[in-house]
């Protein structure tokens, strides 16, 4: 009996211990759940506060930016649109009608004629003063505000002019102001005031739609529109011959363009190359057709032009290195025992960043901030991506000696006149 009693007590004790352990587990689990719930609430609260703070701060920052920096992010319309200069309202019905027009009719209303007047220092009148010369060109309306209409054209059309005048198709001209220019891209932006347009009887203008030039294929039909030979807008048809081709624009620099067999003549410079939908997929540059054989025209693709236009419109400070360079040809490499990569420095601007860094004529620039350089265009684009005040590392070869790295501080290019 005593033995049975002991066994029973042990059993009961064991049961009690098991029960107590179960209770402890349950209590611990409940405590853990409560702790996890509290932790989740704390985390959610912190996340909510963080989001709220970010939204408030974002709105404050956005407000500050919005009122301190001009916003031009919506340059290029999603469709061809007309804005009434008289009452500043969209003409929706007119827009709908224009959508059914043929591509030439739609796009030509956004192409203007330009006359750039400059002094010809090679010719003089009887009083010994320089005679004026006029350069005919074209432009494309791409943006407008309450005060101004903005036009993109070729840099070489307006370069060196003492004044630039624009006609919107009614044989009357208004004076234009320079917004900005980029020589190596052969792109410039000018503007005319809406008040000046009203004064010559123009109450509405149409902005062009810039399409995606990356969608072009060899053989696609294209149409060139511009002020050919100064005779007003003329359209010529052709096909895309080469989607991307580098042509020389100076002795040292190349320009990437679309090649077409559409006739692009003197005066077409700055005009539109459009596709069959009436979208601008290129800016014609007739000047450089002289480098090629007859029947070949060139146009700066829209996707190359748009970032440059945006940079000009936002008045971004233009980074400046201060060198003139040329490519190394195979003949150069063989005759002078030069490396196949890099660009040769032909000139260094006194007082510029390259001059201060110690770069000399004859040096070969092979790298820019650890990026290999093979062409002048690559160097130009690398500099353009810099900010004013950036310190950059430039790798050079000098008199056959490699491994030389110089540091330059990028400055601002302050040249901004016709």
Residues of the chain with pLDDT under 50: 3-9, 11, 13-16, 18-19, 43, 47, 50-74, 78-100, 121, 123-130, 290-292
How far, in Å, are 127, 153, 161, 199 from residue 124 at the CA level? 8, 29, 17, 34
pLDDT in tens, 61-80: 232 222 223 333 446 654 44
pLDDT at 105: 81
Q: What is the C-alpha separation between 215 and 302, in angstroms, rounded? A: 11
Output the pLDDT for position 413. Answer: 73
Nearest to 252 by CA among 337, 184, 354: 184
C-beta separation of 163 from 177 below 8 A:
no
User: Distance between CA 151 and CA 41 in Å, rounded?
Assistant: 57
- Rg, C-alpha atoms of the chain: 33
**CA torsion 85→87→88→92, rounded to 10°?**
-100
Give the pLDDT of residue 18. Answer: 46
Q: Please give the full DSSP string across 87-98, using - where no structure is assigned.
A: T--B-HHHHHHH
CB 292 within 8 A of CB 263: no
CA distance 99 to 94: 9
How far CA 327 is from CA of 114, 256, 372, 404, in Å, comes to 34, 15, 14, 20
Place of tokens 């005040």: 389
**CA–CA separation, 176 vs 168, rounded Å?**
12
Residue pointed to by tokens 């060196």: 160
d(CA 166, CA 372): 43
- CA terminus-to-terminus distance, the chain: 120
85 and 198 in contact (C-beta within 8 Å)? yes
* 4: Cβ contacts below 8 Å, ≥ 6 apart: none
Task: Give long-range contacts, CB 8 A cutoff, 24+ apart: 293-297.
Answer: 295/261, 295/263, 296/241, 296/259, 296/260, 296/261, 297/224, 297/238, 297/259, 297/260, 297/261, 297/262, 297/263, 297/264, 297/268
| Residue spans of beta strands (DSSP E) within 328-400 | 343-348, 364-368, 371-372, 391-398
Tokens (6 digits) for 414? 């302050």
Q: How far is it, in rounded angstroms, from Cα 80 to Cα 113?
A: 19
Asked whether the beta carbons of 301 and 256 are under 8 A apart, the reply is yes
CA distance 131 to 151: 28
Q: How many CA atoms lie within 13 A of 108 on its CB side?
A: 17
**Residue showing tokens 């009148």:** 125
Cα 200 versus chain centre, distance: 33
Question: Which residues face 411 on adjacent strands?
Answer: 320
Backbone angles phi, psi at 330, to 5 degrees: -60, -35
The H or E element spanning position 178 is strand 173-182
């Amino acid at each position: 009996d005593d033995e049975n009693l002991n066994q029973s007590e042990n059993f009961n004790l064991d049961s009690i211990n098991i029960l107590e352990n179960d209770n402890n587990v349950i209590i611990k689990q409940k405590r853990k759940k409560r702790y996890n719930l509290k932790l989740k609430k704390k985390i959610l609260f912190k996340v909510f506060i963080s989001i709220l703070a970010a939204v408030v701060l974002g709105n404050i920052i956005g407000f500050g930016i919005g009122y301190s920096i001009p916003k031009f992010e919506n340059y290029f319309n999603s469709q061809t649109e007309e804005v009434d200069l008289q009452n500043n309202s969209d003409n929706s019905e007119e827009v709908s009608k224009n959508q059914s027009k043929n591509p030439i009719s739609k796009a030509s209303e956004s192409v203007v004629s330009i006359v750039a007047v400059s002094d010809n220092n090679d010719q003089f009148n009887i009083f010994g003063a320089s005679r004026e010369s006029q350069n005919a060109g074209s432009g494309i309306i791409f943006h407008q505000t309450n005060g101004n209409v903005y036009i993109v054209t070729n840099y070489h059309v307006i370069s060196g002019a003492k004044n630039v005048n624009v006609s919107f198709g009614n044989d009357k001209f208004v004076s234009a102001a320079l917004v900005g220019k980029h020589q190596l891209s052969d792109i410039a932006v000018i503007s005319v005031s809406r008040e000046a347009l009203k004064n010559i009887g123009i109450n509405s203008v149409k902005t062009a739609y810039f399409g995606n030039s990356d969608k072009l294929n060899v053989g696609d039909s294209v149409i060139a529109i511009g002020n050919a030979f100064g005779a007003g807008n003329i359209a010529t048809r052709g096909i895309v011959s080469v989607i991307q081709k580098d042509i020389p624009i100076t002795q040292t620099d190349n320009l990437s363009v679309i090649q077409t067999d559409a006739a692009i003549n003197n005066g077409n410079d700055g005009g539109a190359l459009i596709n069959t939908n009436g979208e601008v997929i290129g800016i014609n540059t007739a000047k450089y057709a002289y480098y090629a054989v007859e029947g070949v025209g060139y146009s700066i693709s829209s996707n190359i032009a748009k970032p440059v236009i945006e940079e000009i419109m936002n008045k971004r400070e233009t980074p400046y290195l201060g060198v003139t360079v040329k490519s190394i040809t195979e003949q150069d490499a063989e005759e002078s025992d030069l490396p196949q990569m890099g660009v040769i420095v032909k000139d260094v601007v006194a007082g510029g960043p390259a001059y201060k860094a110690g770069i000399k004529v004859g040096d070969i620039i092979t790298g820019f901030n650890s990026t290999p350089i093979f062409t002048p265009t690559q160097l130009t684009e690398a500099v353009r991506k810099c900010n004013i005040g950036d310190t950059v590392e430039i790798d050079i070869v000098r008199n056959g000696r490699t491994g030389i790295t110089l540091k330059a501080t990028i400055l601002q290019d302050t040249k901004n006149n016709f």
